[in-house]
A and B are shown apart, each in its own frame.
Chain A
Amino acid sequence: MARARTLEKRRKAIQNIEKITRTMELIATARFKKAWDRTQATTEYTLGLFHLVRDLAKLEPAASHPLWTPRDQTHRVLLLVLSSNRGLCGGYNAAVVRQTIQTLDRLRAEGCEVLVEVSGKRGASALRFRNTAIQTVHTHLADHPRWEQVEVLAQRYMDELTAGRWDRLAVVYTSSETVGRQRLKTEVLLPLPRPEPIPGHFIPPNAAEYDLYPSGAAILDDLLPRFFKVQLFQCFLQAALSEQIARMFAMKSASENTTKMLHRLSLAHHRARQTQITSEMLEVLSGAEALQQQR
């Protein structure tokens, strides 16, 4: 019964794994729903701020602010990589790491010095394995990014930029516009890019027709830091959302695969059992035959 029994054991093991993957899929779905709602809630605010910045950029073309003055030369770049703390989410982390390596190579070819900060244990260990020097690893932001925590980080980045520690902040993360479509992005957040009006979508306001209290420059002073903070927050939310979507799909296909494997294994098990019974019967029969001939 050796072969049939091993097959039976494997079948049981796979049944257990299926239970786990199904549960993980359910959990990921519930977390995805929460992350989705949070992202949606912030989107309105982000869009509102974006429109304000866009309008003011048009109204105050001469305004200068340390956060959005483009640097003549970029010597040092801070690269923030958003990955996940936990695995079992398909190719999510691998894709982020691949994108990071490519960006690193490109930036180094341009002659920049690159500092790397990583959020999420998985990305950090994968990058370390590839001999990338990492400045800081954040492990508290990947699963459930909170506004207060991201705000602290954003404040530090703004201070470091104004102090001249580096000249550009780029973020590598996965964004999900819809459930079915994830896209890897490398976005430059600092210095803030001046929003370009999209032709046909928006009529630029006329400065003479706008009232500004207390003044355009004063509003911008206050607005730009907030805009950067909320943009960074949005990146973290998108990354967390994409992680849950990736895990949901990975677990879904794992569960589907176990169903297929169970089917194949039970066929093989039946066949093995049948063969064993047949051979045993043959043994008994041939034994009986031999005894009869002896008499």
Chain B
Amino acid sequence: MVKKSTAAPKNPALLRCRILTPEQTVCDQETDFVVVWLEDGQLGIAAGRKPMIARLGVGPLRIGRADQEPKYYYVEGGFVEAAENVVTVLTERAIAAEELDPAAVAERLKAAQTLPTTTPELRKRREQAMRIAQAQWRLVQARSR
């Protein structure tokens, strides 16, 4: 069985950030700051934070401080638990920002925009597709700048 330690970093000023998906462990690294995207806005997590569990929205996840070359991931919903300086993100889909293909993302955005909105059911589906496409689009845009 997996006997990987889930221990917190030795340095009390650091966090351990893990992103887990059903297919693989996308990321497991030490950092001093993590910003997650909740349903109603962003939330920063630093070392020594009060334990918390939250539901994630569709959006970017940042590892590291903004002025120190942070790493970005696209995360599609799921949950985050922060306790004892370990941040665990559980999501069904997580992609590193540099692995997003700008052309494919632009395509997806265009496809989402042209989805029909004639019934409430369809409108809901379009909203979800738009959320996903826009979140990816923003990440791609931020990287090209």
A209 touches B51 (CB 8 A): yes
A48 touches B53 (CB 8 A): no
B93 smallest CB distance to A (angstroms): 11
A6 smallest CB distance to B (angstroms): 52
- Indicate whether A211 sits within 8 Å of B51 (C-beta atoms), given known contacts A43-B1, A47-B2, A52-B79: yes
B50 touches A49 (CB 8 A): no
Q: Mark B16-27, 1 if CB is under 8 A from A, else 0.
A: 001011111100
B22 touches A230 (CB 8 A): yes
Considering only residues 7-65 of chain B, those with a C-beta below 8 Å from chain A are 18, 20-25, 38-40, 43, 50-55
A209 touches B50 (CB 8 A): yes
Q: Mark A38-79, 1 if CB is under 8 A from B, else 0.
A: 001111110111011001100100000000000000000000
Q: Which residue of A lies closest to B52 (CB)?
A: A211
Q: Report how far A212 CA is from B79 CA in the complex, Å.
A: 11
Query: Which of the candidate stretches A8-16, A85-93, A213-221, A282-290 sits at the interface with the other chain?
Result: A213-221
Q: Report how far A233 CA is from B22 CA in the complex, Å.
A: 9
Contacts of A51 in B (CB 8 A): 81, 88
B46 smallest CB distance to A (angstroms): 14
A48 touches B2 (CB 8 A): no
Q: Mark A216-248, 1 if CB is under 8 A from B, else 0.
A: 101100110010001001000000000000000
B25 touches A44 (CB 8 A): yes
Contacts of B20 in A (CB 8 A): 44-45, 48
A210 is an interface residue with CB less than 8 A from chain B: yes
Contacts of A47 in B (CB 8 A): 2
Q: Mark B51-87, 1 if CB is under 8 A from A, else 0.
A: 1111100000000000000000000000101010000
A110 is an interface residue with CB less than 8 A from chain B: no
B90 touches A213 (CB 8 A): no
B52 touches A213 (CB 8 A): yes
Contacts of A209 in B (CB 8 A): 50-51
A223 smallest CB distance to B (angstroms): 6
Q: Report how far A122 CA is from B24 CA in the complex, Å.
A: 31
B90 touches A52 (CB 8 A): yes
A205 is an interface residue with CB less than 8 A from chain B: yes
Q: Report how far A59 CA is from B51 CA in the complex, Å.
A: 12
B92 is an interface residue with CB less than 8 A from chain A: yes
Q: Which residue of A lies closest to B92 (CB)?
A: A226
A44 touches B2 (CB 8 A): yes
A213 touches B25 (CB 8 A): no
Among B22, B39, B43, B50, the residue within 8 A (CB) of A45 is B22
Contacts of B23 in A (CB 8 A): 41-42, 147
Q: Report how far A116 CA is from B59 CA in the complex, Å.
A: 42
Contacts of B92 in A (CB 8 A): 226
Q: Report how far A55 CA is from B79 CA in the complex, Å.
A: 13
Residue in B20, B24, B53, B83 with the greatest tally of chain A CB atoms within 10 Å: B53
B145 is an interface residue with CB less than 8 A from chain A: no
- Indicate whether A213 sits within 8 Å of B55 (C-beta atoms), given known contacts A44-B25, A47-B2, A49-B90: yes
Among A59, A177, A219, the residue within 8 A (CB) of B55 is A219
16 more CB-based (< 8 A) A-B contacts, given A56-B53, A209-B50, A223-B79: A42-B22, A42-B23, A44-B25, A45-B20, A45-B22, A48-B18, A51-B81, A51-B88, A147-B22, A177-B1, A209-B51, A211-B50, A214-B54, A218-B55, A222-B55, A222-B79
A to B CB contacts below 8 Å, 12 in the list: A41-B22, A41-B23, A45-B20, A49-B90, A52-B81, A59-B53, A211-B51, A213-B38, A214-B39, A214-B54, A219-B54, A233-B22
